[in-house]
Structure formats: structure tokens, C-alpha cells
Structure 1
């Protein structure tokens, strides 16, 4: 079962075998996660800079 999942994932990663719809879906999901992590990082950096400016 695990080998089958790896084989399917490998097939999906090859540009000639993935549909444009699946690629767009993957890119949108990645963008969502990157923007969420970027927001969290910005908040953490602002909080840290506020703490250092008070000292």
C-alpha cells in the first residue's frame, strides 16, 4: 500500500502527467499555507520587536 502511494505521488510530480487543474489546486493550497505562515511570522517578529523596544 505504501509503495503504491509513493508511486502515485511520483507520477503526480512529473510535469507531463499532472493535469493543469491539479497543479493549480496544489499551487493555491501552497499559497494559502505560505501566506498563513508569513502572517504568523510577521506577528511574532512585531511582538519580539515590541518587547525589545520596551527594555
Structure 2
């Protein structure tokens, strides 16, 4: 469960960084924020796949 929370925290950190970049006009922070969000979302998707595979294994 901690990996899922860390992934969500990465995504939220990215949103905050992007918002700060938007507010200040800092393009680097905007880009980094978008990248952090994508990284967090990708990791979350991976966790969902692992959960689905584990669920299938447990049905047998």
C-alpha cells in the first residue's frame, strides 16, 4: 500500500509544481510538474496491473 501512496504523492507533487510554474511563469517548473504527474500516473497504472494479476492468481 505504501507504493501506491508514494505514487499518488508524486502525482500531487507534480500538480503543485506545475501550478507554481504556471503562477510564476516558470516553464521549467511547468515541464517538471507535468513529468512528475506522468511518472506518478504511470506507476499507479503499473500497480493496478500488478493487483489485477495477483487477483487472477488468487482465483486459481
Say how many residue pairs are matched. Answer: 43
Q: TM-score normalised to the size of structure 2? A: 0.55
User: Which protein is richer in helix relative to its size?
Assistant: 2
What's the secondary structure of 1:44's corresponding residue? helix
| Runs of at least 4 residues off by over 6 Å | none
TM-score, with length taken from structure 1: 0.59
Compute the RMSD of aligned alpha carbons. Answer: 2.4
Q: Which has the larger radius of gyration?
A: 1
Matched, 1:32 2:52: no
| Higher relative contact order (CA closer than 8 Å, sequence separation 6+) | 2
